[in-house]
Amino acid sequence: MASQDPLTQLFTLKPPESVTEMRSLLDAFAGFMNVGLPEVGAFHEAVPVHEGVTADVIVPAGAGPHPVLVYLHGGGWVCGSPATHRKLAHRFAEAGYLVFNVDYRLAPEHPFPTPLEDCVEAIRWAHREARRFGGDPERLAVGGDSAGGNLSAAAAIELAGEEACPKAALLIYGVFDFASIGDMPEELAAGPLAEMGEKMLEMMVGAYLGAERDQALLANPRVSPLRAAHRLPPSHVVVGTADPLVRQAEALVKALSAAGVPHEHHVDPGMPHGFVQMEFLAPARPAIDRMIDFLRRHV
């Protein structure tokens, strides 16, 4: 029997039942997702940020100073790394952005608030060190997908008013309000796939926030940044209609609108969670191009 292609394997393998299995699965497909890296000016791997935290620094081609993007990878707060999101980070560098692709510490070994605090410190560090790599610290944005979208929004709120405060945020299918994380369209909330998704979600959220979570924790803006959306910079919100987190994006956009925060909201028909990294899906590159256009207008 012929072996399955990687994409078929990705969608037919037994869902991971532990954090260890999740990490192994994501690492196994990182090479597939990151084939054909765009050309950039320079690549510096695992540059020390502070204790336990590093960042891959991707320098654009051409003369600086370059605008800066601090990228926070997804992976449910429990997996992922700069290596799993290398091609996406390179896309932004290809477009002229000095990218700091952060390797923050992960749950359950390092539960909340450590991943968030790592990301906040990484943004401060990128602001201090940008000139060393040809960047302009006064033109700094933050962005991330999934758990990284949550961390990007929470970190931007934490830094509001500081010198290192991001001027814009890319919020890619993130979790923005943990109290309503189970709210999803009816067509996505039924069937065996939804049940498997709920188990994986609890595994990730439990690792990050603990098995017992009170309402005060869920309402903390450091956990649920929607609760302080008025402190966000101009934001570009991306999600697909087949993503269980589609209503998370809708709720954030509603809060941004109420607060008068400039924002864009793009919902790609039929696209699943994680689609921006899946360049074999036609909407992926246009979604990246929209984000680059947004950054050019705000940073």
Tens of pLDDT, residues 68-84: 999 999 999 999 999 99
Return the pLDDT at 29. Answer: 85
Residue 216 backbone phi and psi in degrees, to 5 = -65, -40
Where in the chain are the domains?
Answer: 6-298
pLDDT bin (cut points 50, 70, 90) of residue 9 is: very low
pLDDT bin (cut points 50, 70, 90) of residue 28 is: confident
Task: Tell me, yes or no, if 66 is annotated catalytic.
Answer: no
Instruction: Please tell me the pTM assigned to this model.
Output: 0.94
Q: Report the C-alpha gap between 156 and 175 in whole angstroms.
A: 15
| Mean pLDDT value across residues 100-128 | 98
pLDDT bin (cut points 50, 70, 90) of residue 283 is: very high
CATH T-level assignment (fold) for domain 6-298: Rossmann fold (3.40.50)
Given 56, 73, 118, 146, the catalytic residue: 146
Task: Tell me, yes or no, if 56 is annotated catalytic.
Answer: no
Q: Report the C-alpha gap between 106 and 42 in whole angstroms.
A: 27
Task: Tell me, yes or no, if 146 is annotated catalytic.
Answer: yes
Phi-psi region of 96 (alpha: psi -120 to 50; beta: other; left: phi over 0): left
pLDDT greater than 60 at residue 3: no
DSSP helix/strand/coil, 51? coil
Structure tokens at 285: 């590159």
Return the pLDDT at 143. Answer: 98
Pick the residue with more confidence: 101 or 29?
Answer: 101
Residue 47 backbone phi and psi in degrees, to 5 = -75, 130
pLDDT greater than 50 at residue 6: no
Q: Report the C-alpha gap between 85 and 274 in whole angstroms.
A: 11
The number of helices, as runs of H, and strands, as runs of E, in the chain is 9, 8
Taking every pair of C-alpha atoms in the chain, what is the biggest distance, in angstroms?
60
Least confident of 22-36, 121-135, 161-175, 211-225: 22-36
Pick the residue with more confidence: 17 or 235?
Answer: 235
pLDDT greater than 80 at residue 230: yes
> Residue 214 class from Cβ within 10 Å (0-12 exposed, 13-18 middle, 19+ buried)?
exposed
Structure tokens at 133: 């790599």
Residue 73 backbone phi and psi in degrees, to 5 = -70, 155
The share of the chain scoring above pLDDT 70, in percent, equals 91
Return the pLDDT at 257. Answer: 98
Q: Could you report the per-residue pLDDT of 231-274, keeping only the tens digit for each?
A: 999 999 999 999 999 999 999 999 999 999 999 999 999 999 99
Return the pLDDT at 7. Answer: 45
pLDDT greater than 70 at residue 89: yes
Given 127, 243, 263, 268, the catalytic residue: 243
